[in-house]
Structures are given as C-alpha cells and as structure tokens.
C-alpha cells in the first residue's frame, strides 16, 4: 500500500480537501485519512513553523513508512503579479534561515518558495524576493522538504496565496505560541480595537478561503 502524507499548518488549509474524511487527533496533531486497498492518504497539521511541521511528519511516519509527501497551505506573495486565492505547484523550497535549497520532484512548477521563521511583513517579503528570487513565502515547507530528502522520498509542494505583496496586515507573530498554535482569541481582541486593519483582514479571510479551495483542486488533479 502506498502512503501519501499531506502536511499543512492549520485545519483551514485542509478543509476543502478533507471535508468528508475521518478525523482524529493525537498529541497536538490533527489527522484526516482516506484509505482503499492500494492507497492511504493521510493529512495532518500541528501548527505554524518548521517544528510543528516536523511533528506532523513524525506523527504520520509513526503509522508506517511514507512513500510520498506533499506540503500544502497558505503562503504570502512575494510578487505583485500573483493573485490572492490562486494555488501554485512549487519548483523548490529555500530555507531562509539556513540558505538550504530543496528541489521538488519532476513535473513541479516554476515558482520558488522561501520558508521564513516568522510571518513576513511587506519589508521582509521584499527582502526575501530580492535575496532568494522567490515568489512565495511560508513557514513550514523547508522542514518537510528536508525530511523527505533525508529519506529519499518524493516531495511536492502546493501553496495558495492568502495575502498579497503589499497587504496592510497586523503583525501576526506575537499571536503564535511556541508550539506553533495561533492564539485566535487574543488576536481577535487585539484586532477589535484596530479598525484600520479590518478591511485587509476581511480580504485575507476571503483570499484564504479561495486559496484552500484552489489547493484542494490542484492537489486532487495532481493525485489522479
């Protein structure tokens, strides 16, 4: 049986894909699984950041060897010509902290993704675009790519754009705890008294919803 791991950071990134899949959780990792006689698809998320992605990978691997791993989820655009809500097959991933580069397997797209240790604001997005010639930024994919390379298993990456290059958004970093979980209640209280951010946050919510749907469609097409 072929085991395919699909790893995201947050449940919302997986929602359109796993809507009807059985769900479970263990040790802070959420799982969704779909199985038949020939194939097992396991989706998991454990939070934002490389440590959380590593936990999700390890939790799937506890159930048996992984034959294929796919990193999916939301990403920020590092170019102004990439429309929010769209999904992209990534050519490769760059760890912005170490400079390591990981190629996706054959048939991937042309855009490169930079993995940052923090949520990137506009200034950091411009720096990453200049330093690495990347088109997208996330916080998890480099960890998954590294683990796949260590095990010599195929790695793919599909990312959907949740925020544009010049989006006027608050700093999300203080609202992500050490485990990579987003502190939603604390953030809502913060944003409630800052109406200047409301239009951008509403737009980001819509972009994220459309991006998740685009990711699901791209992933289903890829797996067929």
Six-digit token pair at 200? 């951008």
Six-digit token pair at 221? 């097409």
- Chain position carrying tokens 């997208």: 136
DSSP character for 176?
B
Six-digit token pair at 22? 């059985």
Cα Rg of the chain, angstroms: 17
Around 121, how many Cα atoms within 13 Å sit in the side-chain half-sphere?
A: 7
What length is written for the chain? Answer: 224
Return the bridge partners of 2, or none: 39
Calculate the CA dihedral of residues 202, 206, 207, 211 and round it to 10 degrees.
150
pLDDT digits (tens, 9 = 90+) for 166-194: 999 999 999 999 999 999 999 999 999 99
pLDDT digits (tens, 9 = 90+) for 95-120: 999 999 999 986 667 899 999 999 99
CA 117 distance to own-chain centroid: 13
Return the bridge partners of 5, or none: 42, 69
Calculate the CA dihedral of residues 202, 207, 208, 212 and round it to 10 degrees.
150
Q: Give mean pLDDT, residues 12-33.
A: 96
pLDDT digits (tens, 9 = 90+) for 146-163: 999 999 999 999 999 999
Six-digit token pair at 182? 């987003």
- What's the pLDDT at 107? 64
How confident is the prediction for the chain on average, in pLDDT? 95
Calculate the CA dihedral of residues 152, 157, 6, 19 and round it to 10 degrees.
-170
pLDDT-based confidence at 224, cuts 50/70/90? confident
Calculate the CA dihedral of residues 56, 58, 62, 66 and round it to 10 degrees.
90
Six-digit token pair at 33? 């699984």
Q: What is the pTM of this model?
A: 0.94
Percent of the chain past pLDDT 90, that is, above it, reads 93
Return the bridge partners of 160, or none: 74, 87
- What's the pLDDT at 124? 96
pLDDT of residue 6 exceeding 80:
yes
Six-digit token pair at 43? 């989706």
pLDDT digits (tens, 9 = 90+) for 45-60: 999 999 999 999 999 9
- What's the pLDDT at 36? 86
Six-digit token pair at 82? 């990439």
Distance CA 149, CA 5 (A): 14
Q: Is 30 helix (H, G, I), strand (E, B) or coil?
A: strand
Q: What is the CATH number of domain 2-223?
A: 3.40.50.1580
Return the bridge partners of 68, or none: 4
pLDDT-based confidence at 135, cuts 50/70/90? very high
């Amino acid at each position: 049986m072929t085991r395919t791991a699909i790893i995201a950071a947050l449940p919302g990134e997986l929602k359109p894909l796993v809507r009807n899949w059985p769900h479970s959780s263990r040790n802070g990792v959420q799982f969704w699984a779909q199985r038949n006689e020939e194939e097992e698809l396991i989706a998991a998320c454990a939070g934002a950041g490389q440590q959380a992605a590593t936990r999700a990978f390890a939790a799937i691997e506890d159930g048996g060897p992984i034959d294929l791993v796919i990193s999916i989820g939301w990403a920020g655009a590092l170019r102004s010509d990439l429309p929010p809500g769209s999904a992209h097959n990534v050519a490769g991933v760059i760890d912005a902290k170490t400079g390591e580069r990981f190629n996706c397997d054959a048939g991937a797209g042309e855009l490169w993704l930079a993995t940052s240790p923090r949520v990137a604001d506009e200034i950091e997005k411009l720096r990453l675009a200049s330093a690495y010639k990347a088109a997208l930024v996330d916080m998890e994919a480099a960890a998954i790519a590294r683990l796949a390379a260590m095990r010599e298993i195929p790695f793919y990456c599909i990312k959907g754009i949740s925020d544009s290059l010049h989006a006027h958004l608050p700093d999300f970093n203080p609202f992500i705890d050490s485990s990579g979980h987003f502190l939603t209640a604390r953030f809502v209280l913060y944003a409630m008294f800052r109406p200047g951010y409301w239009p951008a946050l509403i737009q980001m919510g819509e972009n994220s919803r459309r991006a998740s749907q685009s990711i699901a469609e791209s992933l289903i097409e890829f797996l067929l």
